[in-house]
Amino acid sequence: MSESRDPIPGSATARALPPDLQGKRVLITGGTGTTGKTLTLWLLSETDTEEILIYSRDEQKHHELQLDPEFDPARVRSVIGDVRDLDQLTHSLKDVSVVFHTAAMKHVHLAEQHPIEAHKTNVLGTRNVVEAALAQKVDRVIASSTDKAVDPANVYGNTKFMMELELLNADRERAGNTRFDVIRHGNMLGSKGSVVPLFIEQAKKGCLTITYPAMTRFWIGQKDLVDAFHRCLSQSGGGEIHIPRSPACRIDVLAHAISEEANQDVIGMRPGEKQHEVLTAISEGPRLRDFGSHLVVYPPSSTSPGGEPVADDFQLRSDLAPQLNISEMRSLLQSEGWLTE
Ligand SMILES: NC(=O)c1ccc[n+]([C@@H]2O[C@H](COP(=O)([O-])OP(=O)(O)OC[C@H]3O[C@@H](n4cnc5c(N)ncnc54)[C@H](OP(=O)(O)O)[C@@H]3O)[C@@H](O)[C@H]2O)c1
């Protein structure tokens, strides 16, 4: 399977931007990545966003995006840049109203080996996004975070935890009118370099490498991810962490869903990996509200949060969340375009 699949599976109704953001310019850091491309296709197909600036480093990925007819060159513009480069970011954010900050070092094992590099991109890079957004009076910044940022057990999770703090502190300080929010979610089904494309490739050779069969992970598809960004843009007052609720499954269930026949070779957990993930910390409980389809961690200053309060010991855990069985996982993979019917 390639990454050029149906734009946003299952998107039945258009998700327009709030009136004050319509017809404006959006910049996506990491716009050539899986999340960035998903958000770009949403903006192109369902909103009247005037221009989408794709901000990332590797010129080859920009070149490939420009060759892809799905990315209308009249509305999508490449900007070669690094989030570590404050000058380039500040320059690029001129006349931009919304930033989706998705650029990151995200491979757990590489961040373990290069903690300072992960810190430079994920923490200092985010600090630059904040400073540039404030300097250019951007209206909204929404950043992608991960379950690994909760009770972090590895370098990647720690850097994303600090990324969240950078954004939430910036919102609390209210040095300008820019509002900063976070979307925290589990594994994006089939993202670049993730286990789904790996298993699909390995299945062709008849053996899948399983780290730990009983390991569980949350799984989110493109539609639910776009819904989360749209909801956050439309509803947040700033300083919020939006957490879409998604199902989970064991890693051996995912492997069976991808191939019934292939052998499973258990290779053991890698440094920094957890057996189960959590999407909310117990310490967030007093500020956490449940909306059914999603949860929101509100800032301490919030006086009228919506939703329902959660129990004192509540945690959204991948081993306790609704578990997908093999056929449900297969259906999800099919609906996202990763498996054929
Ligand atoms: N994938 C998941 O399962 C998952 C789950 C939860 C949260 N997230 C979060 O979602 C975000 C996107 O993940 P993804 O899976 O879409 O990642 P991805 O496909 O690997 O894309 C990452 C993007 O970031 C860019 N990038 C990396 N370092 C950069 C830098 N220093 N300056 C500018 N651009 C940079 C990359 O392009 P260049 O390398 O060319 O610069 C690429 O465009 C990340 O913040 C990640 O932490 C992902």
Note the pLDDT tens digit of each residue in 94-153.
999 999 999 999 999 999 999 999 999 999 999 999 999 999 999 999 999 999 999 999
pLDDT confidence band for 9 (50 / 70 / 90):
low
148 assigned to active site: yes
Pocket test for ligand 1, best of 60, 121, 147, 188 (most atoms within 8 A of CB): 188
Q: Could you identify the residue written with the tokens 């780290």?
A: 211
Q: Is the pLDDT of residue 300 over 60?
A: yes
pLDDT confidence band for 3 (50 / 70 / 90):
very low
The topology under which CATH files domain 19-186+220-245+278-316 is: Rossmann fold (3.40.50)
Query: Do residues 142 and 229 lie in contact, with contact meaning Cβ atoms separated by under 8 Å?
Result: yes
Q: What is the pLDDT of residue 190?
A: 84
Q: Could you identify the residue written with the tokens 């117990």?
A: 282
pLDDT tens, position by position, 186-215:
999 989 889 999 999 999 999 999 999 999
pLDDT tens, position by position, 208-218:
999 999 999 99
pLDDT confidence band for 330 (50 / 70 / 90):
very high
Segment 79-86 shows an average pLDDT of 98
Over the Cα atoms of the chain, what is R_g?
Answer: 19
> What are the pocket residues of ligand 1 if the criterion is a CB atom closer than 6 Å to any ligand atom?
29-30, 32-36, 56-58, 61, 82-84, 102-104, 106, 121, 125, 144, 146, 160, 185, 187-188, 191-192, 194
> What pairing do the DSSP bridges indicate for beta strands 76-80 and 51-56?
parallel
End-to-end CA, the chain:
13
Q: Is the pLDDT of residue 6 over 60?
A: no
Query: Do residues 112 and 155 lie in contact, with contact meaning Cβ atoms separated by under 8 Å?
Result: yes
Segment 268-286 shows an average pLDDT of 94
Q: What is the pLDDT of residue 175?
A: 86
Query: Structure pTM?
Result: 0.96
pLDDT, mean over the chain: 94
How many residues are recorded in the chain?
A: 341
Q: What is the pLDDT of residue 11?
A: 54
Query: Rounded to an integer, what distance in angstroms lies between the CA atom of residue 216 and that of residue 275?
Result: 7
Lookup: tokens for 165: 């703090």
pLDDT confidence band for 77 (50 / 70 / 90):
very high
- Give, for 273, the enclosing helix (H) or strand (E): none
Among 290, 283, 183, 197, residue whose Cα is nearest residue 240: 183
- Closest approach atom of ligand 1 to CA 160: 47
